[in-house]
Structure 1
Amino acid sequence: MSTATIRDVVAELRAAVDGEVDASDRRRAEYSTDASNYRVVPQVVVAPRDVDDALAALDVSRRTGVPVTARGAGTSVAGNAVGTGMVLDFSRHMNRVLDLDPQARTAVVQPGVVMSDLQAVAKPHGLRFGPDPSTQNRATLGGMIGNNACGPHAVAYGRTADNTRELDVVDGTGRRLTAGAGSLDAVPGLTELVHSELATIRTALGRFKRQVSGYSLEHLLPEHGNDLAKMLVGSEGTLVTVLGAAVDLVPVPAAPVVVALGYPDMPSAADAVPALLEHEPLAVEGIDARLVDVVRRHKGDAAVPDLPDGAGWLLVEVGAREGENEDDVLARARALAAAGGTGAAAVVPAGAQADALWRIRADGAGLGGRTPSGVPAWPGWEDAAVPPERLGDYLRDFEALMADGSIDGLLYGHFGDGCIHVRLDLPLATPEGVGPSREFLEAAADLVASYGGSFSGEHGDGRARSALLPRMYAPEVLDLFGRVKSLFDPDGHLNPGVLVEPRPIEADLRRPHARPTLARSGFAFLEDGGDLTTAVHRCTGVGKCRADTSAAGGFMCPSYLATKDEKDVTRGRARVLQELVRGAGSGGADGSLIGSWDSPAVAESLDLCLSCKACGTDCPTGTDVATYKSEVLHRAYRGRLRPRTHYLLGQLPRWSGLVTAVPGLARVTNALLGVRPLARLVLAAGGMDSRRQMVSFAEERFSRWARTRRAGDASPRSERDRRVVLWSDSFTETLDGAGGRAAVTVLEQAGYDVVIPDRSACCGLTWITTGQLDGAKKRLADLLEVLGPYAADGVPIVGIEPSCTAALRSDLVELLPDDPRSREVARAVRTLAELLTAPEPTGPGQRWQPPSLEGLEVVAQPHCHHHSVMGWEADAALLTKAGARVTRLAGCCGLAGNFGMEQGHYDTSVAVAENALLPALREAGPDTVYLADGFSCRTQAEHLAGRRGVHLAQLLAGQV
């Protein structure tokens, strides 16, 4: 397609469509891949607002010959949601539940509705949609229809196809039809084709439950009701575009019980499945001990409840049948456990422990993206299925195949249906590894076919497996697929390259063509081999960042929750950065969309990133966009003039240090900036939003207060091993020292000899977040001179400001990796709560006890960096022990250092605050304490809600 033609198509779309039409390089990069291994750059992305918009876009695409790929959340791991022409994103606007009939147990939905949103609407009626893939809190129903998604409860409720009643669709010729049972005549020639191929369809298709590969033509058989809707489910957008769906709902099971069964290995666990299925469970899931170990390393021991002995487990859910009570369910669960063929069994009633077990399974899709040794593991063969009675033997042969090829991966999956998920460390980082990877996948395909299995059990074939279908199906079956395609889409207009006339499985791979981007003067990327390219390719696209995980304590991704735009989500930014590292060395000459570090596309992508660091922890693959943003800014601006805010906010400790260095100057400055018109002028001149308030400078530096206090303290010093260093960061030193002063009181009450270094030291945080990494390194090197000797002596170092404490725990080693003092200081740094809740006694023969906070209502805003780097569990435990009633907020406050102060960010900053902080403060009573260790969090609450916050140390010292 010529440039002029592309321009014309875009112009036609903008004239015909009310929704967004975007052909920018940034947008095309964001949609160039899904959760698969493939990079297929679209020409334009369209987000229709309604059915009329979608029909108009499809009409333009047919008239201009631009192929169409429908897309929901983009969580497809097989490459079925990427295409070379127009991508239709239904998740942006067409995402509502249109109707729900509790009596008929049906719902009518738009294709972009998120599955968990449908569940939330149905739950008050005691109903739910049966299939529930692990990505259900971001996966859309349209995507589930495209792939025939299943999830753990398909054992009881079936696949998406089994729960779909009618579809509102448009085929490749522009025909709009309502597909359902008995509607074959809606497509001319389809009835005749089915009648002529009854024998082939009956013998080759629908042989077992998870045979999802190819077209599920068995639903068109007379004995199956000639059901066109069910056949179209799983056709991956190659036959029709779904505009809406009527789906069946099922009752929510009451208080289901989980039976955990331990086995010596995964094949042994699989051997037990047929006997368990006789007890009609709701779900039978398998997890490998190595996956559990990965969860433990990633989330801590507390995230993994006790499991029976074993190296592989089955999690089996048993629900109440009609007329049963809880005792009946427990009795059936015990009977099932006895049938499991193992003495290692635990019956877990509904509750927190059962939920934690299911979270291990749900996180598998992301955590399986790296092997236990930390090597990237890729999709492409994560979805094979065999009849359950043959699963154990298949797994033994598959593990032998992996061993022969020196391939590793974490096994888990829907054992009750014979469906296995595994991501493999195929050598896809270089072009040389493509051939061996293809050979392994071909051997794996032959193995599955020999067991009568299916290459896809619920994710669809896509670009990953369509070309392998000749190894599973006879030529006459493939010919039949082609004839069906020609009836619906004779011009090959819909999602070309998938299922019929597929692209080779090695075509369009993303990773092999991304050149290394080795660390230079910025971050070391120690866990990624010193390679930024490897780091940004941590993102596998599973899209957890698109979900609102605040209910589970997650913080990612605050700007996306405010805008709902792929541009502002961790995955979208990672995709743009993947495009950047692909083209930065060539200036885009290799066909990449982005050719330079200072590309406007990159600037747009990173603009609303709050550098909250939440993705570094909440993302199961550890995709740390905050660090990548700093590195990109460092490379883009090194040796060049920077934005004003980089010099002002990005070097705030320098200016606050100057203002507070002279006694009395801070008081005068605060008085002047308290004049609102003058403050607005200063804010605007500095590139800040004039709606903001200026910060106030400390009229007495914390270190000056400490020296005065120490001079008047005649008490003897404590023993050497009772010392603790209280580190005065720049925020505590020059802006707000109340938390530091209270920390001294609390630590002394706990029996510590508090040492405050004579010289304050800055961690360079503001330099880091603005990508001024040379300046950050200078400050960190100076900090090592101050704190290094204490760390070498084994003295704990307590941080006051959580973002600065986090910088020492994470950024310090990455920026100064060759200085051994970096690791010593990082190991020595503690939060106040971590020190006070440490298991060892803190006083002479006794443990410190917190003051009673019984009856005190606390709204707590954990700082994002605190959550992401240190974790807030110690703080939560300390407050619980003290007796406080704590409402713990999840999500960013929205200010995020310099972000919310900058021009162009105010509205997003406020919208982020509305996610959790502002509603909680509005609902809080006047006596409720707002607890926020972060200076930014306290500032945001005071600016937007007029609510003053306190540091944990102030709360413990009784200073509220």
Structure 2
Amino acid sequence: VAGTHGHAGDCNFHLDLLLNLTQQQDRVRLINVMTKITEKVMELGGSMSGEHADGRTRGVILPHVFGKALFDLFVEIKDLMDPRGIMHPGVKIVREARDKDLHQAIEELVGVDEKDSKLNLARFRDFSQLFSGVCSLCSQCADICPVFSKLSDGFAARTEAAPTFRRALAMALETGADPAIRNDPLFKKTFELCLLCGQCTFKCATNASMRDLVAKVREEKRSRVIAPAIAGVMERRGLYNAAIGLLGATQGLWQSRPGRQVLSWLPQGLIPTRIPTQRYLPRLAKATMEGRYPELARVAPAQAEIAYFHGCTSDLFAEPVADSFINIARHNGWQVSLPPQRCCGEPFASVGNTAEYHRLARYNIDQLLPYKYVVAHCPSCILAFKELPKEFARLGDTAYEKKARDLVAKLYDPARFIVEVAGVQNLKPATRPIEQKVTVHVSCHEKLGHKLTASANRTRDLLGLIPGLQVVPMKGADECCGEAGPWGLAGHYDQSLKLRQDKIANVMESGAGIVTSWCLGCIIQMRDGLGQAGSGVAVRHPLELLSEAYGPLVE
């Protein structure tokens, strides 16, 4: 496998072979490939170096590329200018290579046996065994990275904001760099500012995962009190239901500026995150989904085909998202169950608490797998499930790797379920028109999730079921809004304001009266931005719109 990129204007390209040169079989491959490519370049009358000179590694092939007569002229000029051979010895002019066979010269450079190699082999390791995907050095990820494109002014050099720089730092750490590098301010800044939005992986030809890499680096600084405590509460359902009820009853603390100011005075680490006084948040729910719909809780697979994974945000916030799906299901006679479930685990993985992530994932898999279909509306939860086969494969847990693959095969977002499983022709028609223009924001995890399993985005199909609703385009519809869950919610609120500027402007310029998104985090971010901009554009969930078009169910 090779990554190839180049410059059409001056007719050259770069070939990056994705090999592990610490392995003998890959060194042999390199010797053979390098020999064949050099012979082809010679046959076509080209050059092995289009812009980066020949240096040390290509010096051994120059007598063959340029011919011995021209090479001898190089040697004469070198001797005239540097008779003592003190200027860059061994660079470009490799005298002993003049009369050697091409294959022999390359073999002596690379070395079949590691001890014979003249290369610094540690530089050429392939890190696919550490992180999913292999970096081909094409830098496509930089152009789409929100930090690189919009926050790079916070770095001394713009390249320090690029995902490739973050990858290089992590690789250096894995290959013997001084562990003290973790304490370097630049190292901390580089990894703290990663949103884990997945835009880089979406653009990457090899699906090289920055998420895996950042989560691994953050493991050392993982939460040792708050995150395990939250996971512990989720694992004790009675305590969890009581905690949600308490939060809902005391939400005045979260929704008022004085209350948030008081919370900001608490010692660091006592609460999960500090919420800025001006940050918009939805109303908190007074009961979990299980408490609001006890008749749907724990319905057995024999009585319900659909397991609805509503996610912890539907337990926490009084947003009519999960309620809307249930209303749509009831209108169409679908049998839905709310099986026992916990957080998908993605928030835990993002802060390095991978043990909690895996424990929560195993529980959810066991609860959801018996059902024929699994429907989830949150793009981040869906992405977390799609990452699980790779996670368990890395752990060597073949049993749960298979279970995770089986779960992903029956996993749907509501739009795909409605269009591809239920079938539009089988739906009860929605009769209540919404005479509005709507534009669609595509979240980062939404588009990455579709890419990972090559699934179609059916959002426009779902919106097309609503009478009177007109979908209008928006510039940069799939660009990051800057929320990224807890990252922009509180911890990096000031940076999130910079990241969302274009998104808010694009929503307002679209001419829509409504902007819709599957991601509640994106909804919170856009409501916050549009509200501060004095815009009247409403931010609503696709399920909320379709449920409104159906209206309340009349028994």
Quick one: which amino acid aligns to residue 868 of structure 1?
L
Does 2:487 correspond to 1:899? Answer: yes
2:458 corresponds in structure 1 to 874
1:865 corresponds in structure 2 to 445
Report if the CA contact (8 A) 1:684-1:690 is conserved: no
Does 2:541 correspond to 1:951? Answer: yes
How far apart, in 2, do the equivalents of 1:626 and 1:468 lie? 40
1:623 corresponds in structure 2 to 208
Alignment RMSD, CA only? Answer: 4.5
- Which structure: greater helix fraction? 2
How far apart, in 1, do the equivalents of 2:199 and 2:21 lie? 28
Q: Structure 1's 689 and 459: CA in aligned 2 closer, same or farther, altered over 3 A? A: farther
Q: CA deviation at 1:618?
A: 1.6
Q: Structure 1's 847 and 708: CA in aligned 2 closer, same or farther, altered over 3 A? A: closer
Give deviations 1:806-833, integer Å, cap 9, x for gaps: 2112236524653243222222211011
Does 2:328 correspond to 1:746? Answer: yes
Select which of 523, 527, 532 maps to 1:942: 527
Q: Structure 1's 646 and 700: CA in aligned 2 closer, same or farther, altered over 3 A? A: closer
2:23 corresponds in structure 1 to 430
Quick one: which amino acid aligns to residue 388 of structure 2?
D
SS at match of 2:274: coil
Quick one: which amino acid aligns to residue 547 of structure 2?
A
Report if the CA contact (8 A) 1:850-1:956 is conserved: yes
Structural mapping, 1:168-207, within 5 Å: none
Quick one: which amino acid aligns to residue 474 of structure 1?
G
Does 2:274 correspond to 1:668? Answer: no
2:146 corresponds in structure 1 to 558
How far apart, in 2, do the equivalents of 1:458 and 1:852 lie? 64
Q: CA deviation at 1:929?
A: 0.9
How far apart, in 2, do the equivalents of 1:736 and 1:670 lie? 11
Select which of 280, 283, 288 maps to 1:701: 288
Does 2:312 correspond to 1:730? Answer: yes
Q: CA deviation at 1:731?
A: 0.9
Report if the CA contact (8 A) 2:389-2:404 is conserved: yes
1:546 corresponds in structure 2 to 142
Q: Structure 1's 762 and 478: CA in aligned 2 closer, same or farther, altered over 3 A? A: same
Give deviations 1:859-880, integer Å, cap 9, x for gaps: 3222211110125622234335
Select which of 248, 270, 274 maps to 1:688: 274
Give deviations 1:876-922, integer Å, cap 9, x for gaps: 3433575632335122121101111354x2332122112x3221234
Structural mapping, 1:336-485, within 5 Å: 424=17, 428-430=21-23, 433-434=26-27, 437-438=30-31, 440-450=33-43, 452-456=45-49, 461=54, 465-478=58-71
Q: CA deviation at 1:431?
A: 6.0
Structural mapping, 1:716-795, within 5 Å: 723-757=305-339, 759-790=340-371, 795=372
Q: CA deviation at 1:691?
A: 4.9
SS at match of 1:890: coil
How far apart, in 1, do the equivalents of 2:507 and 2:57 lie? 49
2:100 corresponds in structure 1 to none
Q: Structure 1's 470 and 666: CA in aligned 2 closer, same or farther, altered over 3 A? A: same
How far apart, in 1, do the equivalents of 2:429 and 2:247 lie? 38
Higher RCO (CA-CA < 8 Å; seq separation 6+): 2
How far apart, in 2, do the equivalents of 1:485 and 1:561 lie? 45
SS at match of 1:949: strand
How far apart, in 1, do the equivalents of 2:289 and 2:313 lie? 10
Give deviations 1:480-515, integer Å, cap 9, x for gaps: 567889999999999998756799965555666649
Q: CA deviation at 1:698?
A: 1.0
Q: CA deviation at 1:945?
A: 2.5
Select which of 545, 554, 573 maps to 2:166: 573
Quick one: which amino acid aligns to residue 909 of structure 1?
S
2:408 corresponds in structure 1 to 826
SS at match of 1:477: helix
SS at match of 1:958: helix
How far apart, in 2, do the equivalents of 1:774 and 1:910 lie? 32
Report if the CA contact (8 A) 1:858-1:884 is conserved: yes
Q: CA deviation at 1:676?
A: 1.0
Does 2:464 correspond to 1:887? Answer: no
Q: Structure 1's 510 and 742: CA in aligned 2 closer, same or farther, altered over 3 A? A: farther
Q: CA deviation at 1:567?
A: 2.5
How far apart, in 2, do the equivalents of 1:762 and 1:449 lie? 59
Q: Structure 1's 853 and 481: CA in aligned 2 closer, same or farther, altered over 3 A? A: farther
Quick one: which amino acid aligns to residue 540 of structure 2?
V
How far apart, in 2, do the equivalents of 1:804 and 1:545 lie? 23
Report if the CA contact (8 A) 1:614-1:864 is conserved: yes
Report if the CA contact (8 A) 2:437-2:471 is conserved: yes
Quick one: which amino acid aligns to residue 543 of structure 1?
S
How far apart, in 1, do the equivalents of 2:18 and 2:247 lie? 58
Quick one: which amino acid aligns to residue 331 of structure 2?
Q
TM-score normalized with structure 1 length: 0.46
Q: Structure 1's 774 and 482: CA in aligned 2 closer, same or farther, altered over 3 A? A: same
How far apart, in 2, do the equivalents of 1:496 and 1:689 lie? 60
Quick one: which amino acid aligns to residue 831 of structure 1?
D
Q: CA deviation at 1:646?
A: 5.4
Report if the CA contact (8 A) 1:841-1:848 is conserved: no
Which consecutive unaligned segments of at least 5 residues does structure 2 have?
A: 98-105, 111-117, 153-157, 532-536
SS at match of 1:957: helix
Q: CA deviation at 1:580?
A: 1.4
Quick one: which amino acid aligns to residue 293 of structure 2?
A
2:190 corresponds in structure 1 to 605
1:331 corresponds in structure 2 to none
Give deviations 1:917-938, integer Å, cap 9, x for gaps: 221234355x611212212111
SS at match of 1:698: coil
Q: CA deviation at 1:722?
A: 7.8
Does 2:495 correspond to 1:913? Answer: no
Q: CA deviation at 1:797?
A: 0.8
Quick one: which amino acid aligns to residue 472 of structure 2?
V
Which consecutive unaligned segments of at least 5 residues does structure 1 have?
A: 1-35, 38-76, 78-133, 136-148, 152-158, 161-209, 213-381, 384-421, 517-527, 548-555, 712-716
TM-score normalized with structure 2 length: 0.75
SS at match of 1:700: coil
How far apart, in 1, do the equivalents of 2:83 and 2:513 lie? 66
How far apart, in 1, do the equivalents of 2:260 and 2:92 lie? 63
Structural mapping, 1:2-17, within 5 Å: none
How far apart, in 2, do the equivalents of 1:769 and 1:750 lie? 37
How far apart, in 2, do the equivalents of 1:706 and 1:921 lie? 35
Report if the CA contact (8 A) 1:672-1:678 is conserved: yes
Q: Structure 1's 861 and 849: CA in aligned 2 closer, same or farther, altered over 3 A? A: same
1:523 corresponds in structure 2 to none
Report if the CA contact (8 A) 2:200-2:210 is conserved: yes
Q: Structure 1's 721 and 434: CA in aligned 2 closer, same or farther, altered over 3 A? A: same
2:534 corresponds in structure 1 to none
Q: Structure 1's 462 and 607: CA in aligned 2 closer, same or farther, altered over 3 A? A: farther
2:417 corresponds in structure 1 to 835
How many residue pairs were aligned?
A: 502
Q: Structure 1's 440 and 672: CA in aligned 2 closer, same or farther, altered over 3 A? A: closer
Structural mapping, 1:327-338, within 5 Å: none
Report if the CA contact (8 A) 2:245-2:285 is conserved: no
Q: CA deviation at 1:796?
A: 0.9
Give deviations 1:134-158, integer Å, cap 9, x for gaps: 66xxxxxxxxxxxxx4x1xxxxxxx
Quick one: which amino acid aligns to residue 544 of structure 1?
Q
Give deviations 1:206-255, integer Å, cap 9, x for gaps: xxxx6x7xxxxxxxxxxxxxxxxxxxxxxxxxxxxxxxxxxxxxxxxxxx
Report if the CA contact (8 A) 1:701-1:737 is conserved: no
How far apart, in 1, do the equivalents of 2:508 and 2:82 lie? 55
